[in-house]
């Protein structure tokens, strides 16, 4: 089995979509654990329902970001992880985890990077008035939504769109593109066919 860990902070629709794709396609991939910095987040409940181990603590329980990430690292080291998959994880990953997992941490962003990085990629693209936005899957390098791009998919902004309609279409694209991109990475590593 190829073990992956998912980091999330909120709703967890990408987490659920990944779990579903893995099951439906009978992939030799196991979501070994969920790491969540918001114990009350819906994603925690979803992981419990699926029987996926959860580590959930708030940053403020720790002295600083480094000790927080060291605690996460201790949890992650229980598993022989191939990838760390950020899916709506609202904290910057720092050197503790980046150093322990080089070339192993991926993120998904709801815009065509390097345009519209940050927390409000969908709203920012909509407000700017671009006609095409999209979704980016990329490696993590310690910046905010920077790092080499693995895959992108364009999503047009339609004349009668509002932010909610656009967000729905972006999320639908995310849910397939993330799984496809992870498979692409694992194929390149010759871990799956
Ligand atoms: C997604 O739009 C993702 O691109 C961004 O955070 C959002 C998470 O949504 N990084 P969900 O929690 O997976 O529903």
Burial 148-162 (b: 16+ CB within 10 A, else e): eebbbbebebeeeee
Active-site residue flag, 109: yes
CB 192, CB 30: distance < 8 Å:
no
Ligand 1 centroid from CA 9, angstroms: 9
What's the mean pLDDT in 38-57?
98
Is the CB of residue 22 below 6 angstroms from any atom belonging to ligand 1?
no
Question: Residue 110 corresponds to which tokens in the numbers above?
Answer: 């709801």
What end-to-end distance do the CA atoms of the chain give, in Å?
14
Neighbours of 4 (CB within 10 A): 22
Residue 46 lies in a domain: yes
Which of 21, 48, 57, 109 is flagged as catalytic? 109
**In the chain, which ranges are continuous DSSP H helix?**
13-24, 42-50, 65-76, 95-100, 121-128, 163-188
Q: Judge whether 45 lies within some domain.
A: yes
Mean pLDDT throughout 125-154?
95
Number of domains in the chain: 1
Chain segment 118-128, per-residue pLDDT in tens: 999 999 999 99
Q: What is the CATH number of the domain that holds 55?
A: 3.40.50.170
| Residue of the CA atom closest to atom 6 of ligand 1 | 88
Non-local (6+) Cβ contacts of 9 within 8 A are 36, 37, 38, 41, 43, 88, 89, 90, 91
In a domain, 193, yes or no: no
Q: Is 13 within a domain? A: yes
Residue range of the domain that includes 35: 2-188
Query: Is residue 140 very low, low, confident or very high in pLDDT (cuts 50, 70, 90)?
Result: very high
Residue 170 CA, closest ligand 1 atom number: 2
Atom of ligand 1 nearest to the CA of 108: 4
Whether residue 108 has its Cβ less than 6 Å from ligand 1: yes
Question: Is 144 part of a structural domain of the chain?
Answer: yes
pLDDT at 142: 81
Is the omega angle on the peptide bond into residue 117 within 30 degrees of 0, that is, cis? no
pLDDT tops 90 at residue 167: yes
14 lines ligand 1 (CB under 6 A): yes
On whether residue 30 sits in a domain, the answer given is yes
pTM of the shown model? 0.96
pLDDT score of 144: 86
16 domain-assigned: yes
């Amino acid at each position: 089995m190829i073990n992956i860990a998912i980091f999330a902070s909120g709703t967890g629709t990408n987490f659920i979509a990944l779990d579903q794709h893995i099951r439906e396609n009978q992939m030799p991939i196991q979501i070994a654990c969920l790491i969540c910095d918001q114990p009350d987040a819906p994603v925690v409940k979803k992981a419990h329902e699926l029987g996926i181990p959860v580590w959930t603590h708030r940053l403020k329980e720790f002295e600083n970001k480094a000790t927080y990430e060291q605690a996460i690292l201790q949890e992650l080291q229980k598993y022989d992880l191939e990838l760390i998959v950020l899916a709506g994880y609202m904290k910057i990953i720092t050197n503790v985890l980046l150093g322990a997992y080089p070339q192993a941490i991926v993120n998904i962003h709801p815009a065509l990077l390097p345009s519209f990085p940050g927390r409000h990629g969908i709203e920012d693209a909509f407000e700017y008035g671009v006609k095409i936005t999209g979704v980016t899957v990329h490696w993590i390098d310690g910046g905010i939504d920077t790092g080499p791009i693995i895959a992108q998919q364009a999503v047009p902004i339609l004349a009668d769109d509002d932010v909610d309609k656009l967000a729905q279409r972006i999320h639908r694209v995310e849910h397939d593109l993330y799984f496809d991109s992870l498979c692409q990475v694992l194929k390149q590593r010759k871990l799956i066919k």
